Amino acid sequence: MPETRKQRMPYDFNQQIIQEFRANRGKVGGPFEGARLLLLTTTGARSGVRHTVPLGYLHDEGGRMLVIASAGGAPHHPAWYHNVRADPHVTVETGVFTIEAEAAVLEGEERERLFARAVEADSGWAGYQAKSGRVLPVVALTPLSGSLPDFPEGEVLKAIHDGFRRELALIRADAAVSGPRVGAQLRVNCLAVCGGLRHHHTAESGQLFPHLRDRHPELDAVLDRLHAEHAVLDHLLDDLQKLLSAGPADLLTEVDRLVAQIENHLSYEERHLVPLLNALPPRHEDHLNVTRIPATSDDHAAVTATIRALVTRTPALAADVRPALAHTGGVPGQWVSAAGGSATEDGVTLYVHGGGFEHSQPTLEPLMACRLSQATRRPAFRVDQRLAPAHPYPAALDDVVAVYRSLLEQGVPADRIIVCGESSGGTLVLSALLALRQAGDPLPGAAVAVSPLTDLTLSSQSLDTNDGRDVINRRVAEHVTAQYLAGARADQAPQSPLHGDLHGLPPLLLVAGTAEVLLDDTRRFAAAASAAGVDVTLDLYEGMPHAFHASVMAQDPPPIALTFLRRLTDWVAETRAGGTRSR
């Protein structure tokens, strides 16, 4: 239940609002229809687990958002308030943007002034304070960085417009009840919305419109009109702010007129631009080497059936399992070679298994190592890293790094080592790259991560948009993340690879299925690494679930699994680690 002027509601009801908010891009129905809401995600002061709550909020000057720890008038502060006191780094979702922010508990005159402004806008806050018997804390959320949702570009534009429409509707509703005497909070709301619209229009005129002119000369007349309307709207926004400052008797009529003109502009823009923008490549893929591998429902069924069968009947391992080196840094594991050759001459594939940081499948994982050895044409070593919760972060990461360093000590050239992992193993692969680079170790020649969890704050949109399509869900991700981190920060590298400096990493092959909840973890990391100058190849398998490639372990793998192996083989041959050519 949002902490607006309503009584507190059960946890499950909160979850319903959160799901509706995310599914409808910030819009909710029922008793909260039209309310100004955000989702606030904090880190548990005691548990270290990330918690999300829906809250009512107020705009503030300078781009801040204000939330009040009312707890529905309860005598004790809500849990989220204690969390931000312990760790002020929070994530805010507005329905359009996901924002990393810094929370600050306001004190003294500033707190008194802003709480009074909130009460002026809604007297219910005063009622809550009187009922609670405590001074309600006012918390300011200052944005540090933000990201857009992973929608087609046209849908992003419409989502931004819908956010402005909701704000304009709230301003109109507040103006209708205020009469000529306009409150301070309404003026601040107008200032925030007008500033946001101006920023949006500046970005369109300076970036989006030139981009479209280059590709769609037939749009010149439309873009000319929209650009001209931006100048007109700029004056309209000034007029709206002046109206709310003066508070004339015909305030509502004038507000209606100005809001109608703004909405007409938004609708005209959407009518002409949304179809074109939706046809553009997703922003994550604009400068990436992306391949979308088609798959059918039959492929999905074959993968699912094959993986289920592997659990009950393990195929025979047809590979050389003799030790290839004297030691592996004190970390247990297993050498599997289906390709023959020498580790020091041909290189090594270092395989880091998945399992949510807490599970291992010792009878199946050698089969995966065998397939990777075949595809990469070199011996593979399966790392038997320590597992949570008995051994939380950084134990598993330390094991992967130790094995890698042992290979270097034994004379394996760094550029002939490929580090490969899936799921949590993919996370460990990417974390190891960051840890090794930070320590000054030579990096491997290439790395492969299949279905990795890269953002341990669990902020990726696909955790919700793909919920129900995948074999795992957000609750699974929350569980494994909490077990693994055990209090370590979710927004820092190397444990959360997306939050690290990605410059200087080796060539990466990142693989995901488009039906999996961690799809955006893969895409966001690919985009960030590519922006940092890393050679990234992103393979997206249409309709495939989390870690679909596990079906390669079967005696007779399904066709889509063989496609994965073939593409891995081709990619290795094109990288430095393949020893054939350099990029």
Q: What is the DSSP letter of 337?
A: B
Beta strands in 7-152 (DSSP E): 37-43, 50-56, 58-59, 65-68, 89-93, 98-105, 138-147
The 10 Å Cβ neighbour count of residue 145 is: 8
Q: Check if 297 is active-site.
A: no
Q: What is the DSSP string of 396-461?
A: HHHHHHHHHHHHHHTT--GGGEEEEEETHHHHHHHHHHHHHHHHTPPPPSEEEEES----TT---T
Tokens of 476: 């699974």
Q: Check if 516 is active-site.
A: yes
Which is catalytic among the residues 93, 204, 365, 516? Answer: 516
418: β partners: 349, 446
Q: Check if 284 is active-site.
A: no
Which is catalytic among the residues 200, 201, 546, 549? Answer: 546
Q: Is the peptide bond before 558 cis (omega within 30 degrees of 0)?
A: no
User: Which residue pairs from 83-90 have beta carbons closer than 8 angstroms and sit at least 24 positions apart in sequence?
Assistant: 83/42, 83/43, 83/44, 83/45, 83/51, 84/42, 84/139, 85/45, 86/43, 86/45, 87/42, 87/43, 87/45, 87/489, 89/43, 89/489, 89/491, 90/40, 90/41, 90/42, 90/141
- Is the Cβ–Cβ distance between 39 and 32 less than 8 Å? no
Which is catalytic among the residues 423, 431, 459, 496? Answer: 423
Handedness of CA 489, 494, 498, 501 (dihedral sign): positive
Catalytic (active-site) positions: 423, 516, 546
